Chain A
Amino acid sequence: MTPPWRRDRPAQFPGVPAWGLSTRRQSPEPFDVSPLSGVSKEWAWGGSDGSGVRVCVLDTGVAADHPRIGGLERSLHVVGGDDGRPVVAECEPADPAGHGTACAGVIRSIAPGVSLTSVRVLTDGKTGSGDALVAGLSWAIEEGFDLVNLSLSTTRSGFRESLHELADRAYFRRCLLVAAAHNMPVLSYPWTFSSVVSVASHDLPDPMTYYYNPAPPAEFHARGVKVPVAWPGGREIRSTGNSFAAPHITGICALILGKHPWLTPFQLKTVLYLAADNTLTHSGEAHVS
């Protein structure tokens, strides 16, 4: 039988079926797992609150004074420099749209000890200029953040090459990019690259439950339905979307790195895989919860 990861994907509509998985209604499909002994959720992050881990949120900005955020290390945005090229500069820790604040709040709720920095790359209300995304991501990788949360993607193929190079660079510099899978039948980047951790939604209410998806490119399913998120003005709403699934995995990665700081990105992805709710093994058999 063809394993899930070798299945054909429809050529025309790369995102169909959508990447969400209703684990409330159906169990994730079983698949074979080669266990590595010793890795459990307890081993992975037991006792960690993410202290010492630096996370960068590339988004619409983050409102530092929101009760769910609890302060930022730094707040920056991408602006046009003197020669017209985008540069990264300090800015007020504000977020007119609310998207970045919502994502940062999810990370903080899972890993209260992390240091959060915001880089606003979505400023003009449009899909965002790909230039700003490239400039912001490049800056975050150079600055040495451990994790970068990308609850966004660009559909512009012109940015594919430079984003790919950045994703490779991040991987070798031990900066893990966690990216939300696009939930529509369009091609977008960088979540589709193998060097990043891409995340779609499941519909259970537990923030720490997540699954490995044996039929990538969306590699993990995390909580993404009716998530309580921060809203501008110190409020809170419930929101659904892969944008809110990605920061759950970013938070869990921060917990793991807080306890095991010397993991490389490929080791970290392996630990994520081994501690997922559908790969935890009992006597060598894949256990499906």
Chain B
Amino acid sequence: MSPDDIDGTERRLLQSVVEVARHMFGAAAASIFLVEPETGDLIFEAVSGEGEKELVGSRFPAGTGIAGWVAASGQPMVADDVAEVAPFARDAAESTGYVPRTIMAAPLIRFEECVGVLEVLDRTASRSELDDMELLGLFATQAACALELLLRIRAGRRAEPPADPRDLLRRIGERLSASSRPPDATAVRLLALADDLLGP
């Protein structure tokens, strides 16, 4: 894997977050949902334990289930005895055959925004409800910080021009031909200036 592979790092980070969360609490499963910005839907991005194979990529409508509560209120919470009633539990049960008894969830807050939810199902290594929630909240904060750093690196990479100007020109050419709107007049002037500067 190349050190420039930020996508690969993000996937491994998300997976390691759910693995650690599951082991911290001796839980049956841990998962990360990310909030899709356009719809508000929650999408499973990483799962450890029950449902690991089936759930990644599946989605829940905005504002439903425990993850929906957490994303909506921005507050961590624990729900017990949910096997019979939770829509989340029913959906999960349909796809995995597994019905949780307890769900614990905390928001992932990045750039002042809740971008996802970290959820832990059926923990067994529990100290107390308050301690568990505090620990999950701290861990979710750490996970969100790591995601934020990755995003910043990615944004920084985009800002840096490629070392070879031919790459840059090729990219500009592709964008101009791909774009349906007329090129920005300022951008065209800048290109003309660059042409002058690079000229003999």
Chain A interface (Cβ < 8 Å from any Cβ of B): 13, 16-18, 20-22, 24-25, 59-60, 96-99, 122-128, 151-157, 180, 182-186, 188, 201, 203, 225-226, 231-233, 235, 237-244
Contacts and interface: CB of A to CB of B under 8 A. Distances in A.
Contact of A151 (B75, B86, B113, B133): B75
Interface of B: 35, 40-42, 61-64, 68-69, 71-82, 84-87, 106-107, 109, 112-114, 128-131, 133-134, 137-138, 140-141
Contact of B85 (A152, A155, A237, A240): A237
Given A22-B131, A185-B138, A97 B63 contact: yes
Nearest to A239: B79
26 contacts: A18-B133, A20-B130, A97-B63, A122-B72, A124-B63, A125-B62, A126-B113, A127-B71, A127-B113, A128-B73, A151-B73, A180-B75, A184-B138, A184-B140, A186-B109, A201-B130, A225-B129, A231-B86, A235-B84, A237-B86, A239-B77, A239-B78, A240-B80, A241-B76, A241-B77, A243-B75
B134 A99 contact: no
B41 A243 contact: no
A183 B133 contact: yes
Nearest to A155: B112
Given A125-B42, A226-B129, A235-B85, A185 B137 contact: yes
A126 B138 contact: no
B80 A226 contact: yes
For A24, A124, A237, the residue with the greatest tally of chain B CB atoms inside 10 Å of its CB is: A237
Main secondary structure of the interface of B (DSSP, over half): mixed
B129 A152 contact: no
Contacts of A183: 75-76, 133-134, 137
B36 to A, nearest CB: 9
A81 B81 CA distance: 41
A127 B68 CA distance: 10
Contacts of B114: 126-127, 155
Nearest to A121: B72
A156 B109 CA distance: 10
Q: Quick one: which of A98, A124, A152 has the most chain B CB within 10 A?
A: A98
Contacts of A125: 35, 40-42, 61-64, 68, 71-72
A186 B79 CA distance: 22
Contact of A97 (B68, B74, B80, B129): B68
B97 to A, nearest CB: 22
A241 B78 contact: yes
Most buried by B among A186, A203, A241: A241
